[in-house]
Amino acid sequence: MSKFLMISPFRLVGQLESFVMKDGIKIKYLRMRVGSREFLIEISEELKVYLDTHLSPKDWLEVQGTRETKGKMAIFKLKAETIKILTQPQESGVMIIPEKASKKKILVCKKARCWDQGGRILYQQIKTKLVDRGLENQVEIRLTGCLKQCKKGPNVVVLPDKIQYNQVSIGQVDNLLKKHYT
């Protein structure tokens, strides 16, 4: 499953190098130096307002957020959720916190094609069946972005098994839950 997307939390402590701008006027990324490495970190709209007035190059920062890793090449993207200015210089550091292997999730594609091909009804059916089986506290159901199998929708990924299912119908939900979570 080379197109699989894995998300894990991260924490970086380092110095702000610069901002990467979009269209020359909007902040798109932070360039941050952590030890001898440099990271590009995508910034949410909410954080951009804060950054305009509070940060300058060489400020020490603690940035926390999510790391999205795609495929076998382990290409990753960092997205900031919180940015904290540190008043005193800190020791640089990177911490990637892997998700626990026992974390049980069902990811349902929410992109238009999957959603229109039954994804919306499938999502509701899975939620209902999790409650019926008493699994709502053990298995998290999440909507996710495109799983790159649009013609075979609706698409579902079952974690921690990392198995992707295509053309899932509501009639298959009981068997899917039984197979992975009982």
Predicted confidence at residue 1, as pLDDT, reads 34
CA separation (Å) from 22 to 28, 38, 68, 83? 6, 19, 21, 20
Predicted confidence at residue 75, as pLDDT, reads 72
Dihedral sign (CA 158, 161, 167, 173): negative
* 156-159 and 75-86 beta bridge pairing: unpaired
Predicted confidence at residue 96, as pLDDT, reads 59
- What is the rounded distance in angstroms from the CA atom of residue 31 to the CA atom of residue 168? 41
Predicted confidence at residue 101, as pLDDT, reads 43
Sequential DSSP letters for 62-101: EEEEEEEEETTTTEEEEEEEEEEEESS----EEEE-PPPT
Predicted confidence at residue 25, as pLDDT, reads 76
- What is the rounded distance in angstroms from the CA atom of residue 140 to the CA atom of residue 108? 11
* 37-42 and 26-34 beta bridge pairing: antiparallel
pLDDT in single tens digits along all 182 residues of the chain? 335 566 778 888 888 898 888 877 778 888 998 888 899 999 877 777 766 567 788 888 888 888 877 765 567 888 888 888 888 776 766 665 554 445 788 999 888 888 888 889 999 999 999 989 888 888 889 888 888 888 888 989 888 778 889 899 999 999 988 888 77
Sheet holding 163-165, edge to edge: 139-144, 104-109, 156-159, 163-165
Predicted confidence at residue 126, as pLDDT, reads 92
What's this model's pTM, rounded to 2 decimal places? 0.50
Predicted confidence at residue 2, as pLDDT, reads 37
